[in-house]
Amino acid sequence: MQGRLTIGCRRGITFLEQQAEVDAERIGILGHSMGGRLTCLVAGTDKRVKAASPSVGGSGFLQTDLWGLPGSARRVSGDLKLFQKTLAGQAYLSRIECPILFLSATNDFNAPLDFVERGMALVPHDQKRTVYAVHLNHRFTPEADVSRQLWFDAHLNSRLELPQTPETELLL
């Protein structure tokens, strides 16, 4: 089913780029939860996508136990290795070439923070950021959401330049 939904999204892009009012060189994609997953699948398979912003879905690694919680991995019917190579989120993150901003929540069940960081490490370029809403599950705040609007303004409209991600250092 997820493969068919991805194809459907890509067909939607084909439709949009044929519309007179759409600039086919400035197509972005965003989605929440399952839509976040589709955002990553589409951005990883369609070079027409120029900026992406998944939220609380698409991190990959969901068939892996959470740290300290044995048995927490999601189950897959059929061949797990085949699923991980063909449909798991992590199989597509390494193929994303466009700028990507991942919105999530620190307590999210569908895109756990550890999995988001692990997945974003697979994106093969530096035009990537993560934004987390602290203490929330599967949603984020307006303050986090505004980063998505600024992301698309920066990468699709060239209206602004985002500041660099600050360096952090832990001294013990």
- CA neighbor of 45 nearest in space, from 87, 16, 82: 87
Structural domain includes residue 70: no
Q: What is the dihedral of CA 124, 125, 126, 131, to 10 degrees?
A: -50
pLDDT recorded at residue 87:
85
Q: Which helix (H) or strand (E) holds 3?
A: helix 2-17
Structural domain includes residue 166: no
Euclidean distance between the first and the last CA atom of the chain, given in angstroms as a whole number? 49
3-state secondary structure of 52: strand
Task: Report how far residue 73's alpha carbon sits from residue 128's, in angstroms, rounded to the nearest whole number.
Answer: 26
Token digits for 129?
Answer: 């950021």
Structural domain includes residue 42: yes
pLDDT recorded at residue 73:
81
| pTM, to two decimals | 0.91
Structural domain includes residue 73: no
pLDDT recorded at residue 171:
94
Number of structural domains (the chain) is 1
Structural domain includes residue 32: yes
Structural domain includes residue 95: yes
10-residue mean pLDDT series, the chain (172 residues): 85 97 97 94 97 93 84 85 87 96 92 93 96 93 91 93 86 93
CB burial class (10 A; 0-12, 13-18, 19+) of residue 56?
A: buried
Range of the domain at 49: 2-61+89-156
Task: Report how far residue 138's alpha carbon sits from residue 27's, in angstroms, rounded to the nearest whole number.
Answer: 26
* 102 Cβ contact list (under 8 Å, min separation 6): 53, 54, 55, 58, 59, 111, 116, 119, 120, 128, 129, 130, 131
| DSSP conformation class of 114 | H
Structural domain includes residue 102: yes
pLDDT recorded at residue 23:
97
Q: What CATH number should be reported for the domain holding residue 6?
A: 3.40.50.1820
Structural domain includes residue 75: no
